[in-house]
Chains A and B, each alone.
Chain A
Amino acid sequence: MALSDAEATLLQGQLEDILAYVDELKQLDVTGVEPTDIDSEAQTVWREDEPQAGLSRDAALANAPLARHGQFVVPKVIE
């Protein structure tokens, strides 16, 4: 992302405030505390590897800003 000078100045102040507030976390003693895993019931979820129909090519391309010959089109990548 690009920021204008005005945006950068405004964000700098706001982010400094937020980070100063977030620094309150440093008041806590977290020695020996395990970091939270995302899901307390976390386990590997398995399913049968069976082929299933997904979106059709036309449906998948319908939202593309630019598509041609059944493909997403982007500006040239390789010189």
Chain B
Amino acid sequence: MSTALFELGFLEAADALAKKEITSQELVQALLTRTEALEPDLNALTWWDAETALAEARAADAARAAGDERPWLGVPITVKDLLNVKGQPCTAGSGILKGYVAPYDATVIARLRAAGCVCLSRANTDEFAMGSSTETSVYGTTRNPWDLTRVPGGSSGGPAAAVAARLAPAALASDTAGSIRQPAAFCGITGFKPTYGRVSRYGCAAFASSLDQIGPMARSVEDAAALYQAMAGQDVHDSTTSARPVGDVLGDMRTAPNLKGVRLGLPRQHFAEGLDPEVEKLTRAAVAQCQALGAELVDVDLPHSPYGIACYYVLGPAEASANLARYDGVRYGFRAAAEDVQQMYEQTRTQGFGAEVKRRIILGTYVLSSGFYDAYYLRAQKVRMLIRRDFERAFEQCDALIGPVTPTTAFRIGEKIADPLQMYLGDIYTVNVNLAGICGLSVPCGVTPDGLPAGVHLVGPAFEDTRILKIGAAYQHATDWHLQRPKI
């Protein structure tokens, strides 16, 4: 093969392995060599172990030689440090999970391992996925491979940087308010947040359980769809997963090379004040490209969209404050030295959690406290219903929504970390998708004059995941923005 092995995307790697043009061992070795060379600059990963990875790759090669034809046999992926992979550390980017080694596989990991995938490394995340820049991890800041002075986005900045810099063909990550889609846009890759209930969260460190969803990050929509198909579907370990059949996602995608008859809605509120002119220009060019492929455009309204961030900063912290109560220093992770049990709880959390997590726990317990529950939590749950209805009305007029993923391109490291509210506001276009429980896809749509990528956001109704993947794939068949890569 003429291409360097680390350049192969997920499906390309699977294809080359199936044709026996390469071995998993060669591929893994190429990625490990690249990792050793680039990690000092990027800090995209929290853990990898060459011996373990090569042993898994050798086992995959041996299985193939013995006739094993599983579709993703020997294809390596990186995993956000929030998902349990048996035998590997899982820290959620937090000091409180220091030393924890996963005793079981998350359902998504079990499914991908069953399909043959090799879990190559663990990728950095904001602590407990709380952040938009991967600056709150106990492992330090991940740098954007397009510009090392800038953030990769977050919370899945590690997976995004790793996939963009060719440290892995693809990644598994999670999205609570935009944590897959925003870093995908900042790093010029494809990121998909499936419909709530489509993918099991069993084995994923819980942040805000009514919003968390696991999804793929990859170099193309087809690669993302392949991973999505392998991990989606009902799971007895997560009762929010739907029994609806997932279908043949990849097969369906390949039947639609154009967008004839597809109605795309442009939310007025997402092309309003606050959107960077360069990002707007690239987004509008993507819209025009979709129109050229046959899509019809309609203007739609999401009148409650501007309230999404406020709604999220009540509900997200409220749920987090409950979920994080499990970290008490008793059964796993870090425990502070203490004289008595009360002091053990207090000091374990004081020393184990970082500033952003503490901020959200305090905010969450405040909005849930008896005197303020109605004013904050209950009101936010009602506003969430208004946001959900906005989408239902919009989808009466169109098949999918199209707009920017983020108001700006990647910002500078340190630029927003001292002002949490400014950091939070960057999720303005993505957060409502989580509040409504629907699906969203971030697809690269160009590079600004200062050399930074931007993403276009496709949003579909609940359980119409395949629909937006098809639209994204049709766009990528006609464009080559997803083939642009950082010069690292």
Contacts and interface: CB of A to CB of B under 8 A. Distances in A.
Contact of A39 (B100, B309, B353, B437): B437
Interface in B137-156: none
Given A39-B197, A63-B100, A74 B332 contact: no
Contacts of B242: 41
A15 B236 contact: no
Interface residues of B, number: 64
Q: Is the interface of A mostly helix, strand, loop or mixed?
A: loop
B421 A18 contact: yes
B341 A74 contact: yes
Contacts of A7: 355, 358
Contact of B346 (A1, A55, A59): A1
A76 B344 CA distance: 11
A65 B99 CA distance: 9
Contacts of A72: 330-331
A64 B332 contact: yes
Contact of A25 (B99, B210, B307, B435): B307
A26 interface: yes
Nearest to A62: B103
Q: Is the interface of B mostly helix, strand, loop or mixed?
A: helix
Contacts, number: 133
A47 interface: yes
B382 interface: yes
Interface string A40-79: 1100010100000001000110111110000010111100
Nearest to A4: B350
A76 B340 contact: yes
Contacts of A39: 196-197, 210, 240, 437
B331 A64 contact: yes
Interface in B173-225: 196-197, 209-210
Contacts of A2: 346-347, 350
Contacts of B240: 38-39
B353 A1 contact: yes
Interface residues of A, number: 41
A26 B379 CA distance: 8
A1 B359 CA distance: 11
Contacts of B330: 64-65, 72, 74
A15 B419 CA distance: 11
A21 B350 contact: no
A51 to B, nearest CB: 14
Interface string B379-413: 11111111010000000000000000000000000
B448 interface: no
A41 B242 CA distance: 8
A75 B340 CA distance: 5
Interface of B: 99-101, 103-104, 196-197, 209-210, 236, 239-240, 242, 304, 307, 309-311, 313-314, 329-335, 338-341, 343-344, 346-347, 349-350, 353, 355, 358-359, 361-363, 366-367, 375-376, 378-386, 388, 420-421, 424, 435, 437, 462
Given A7-B355, A26-B379, 5 more contacts: A15-B359, A28-B386, A36-B384, A65-B333, A75-B341
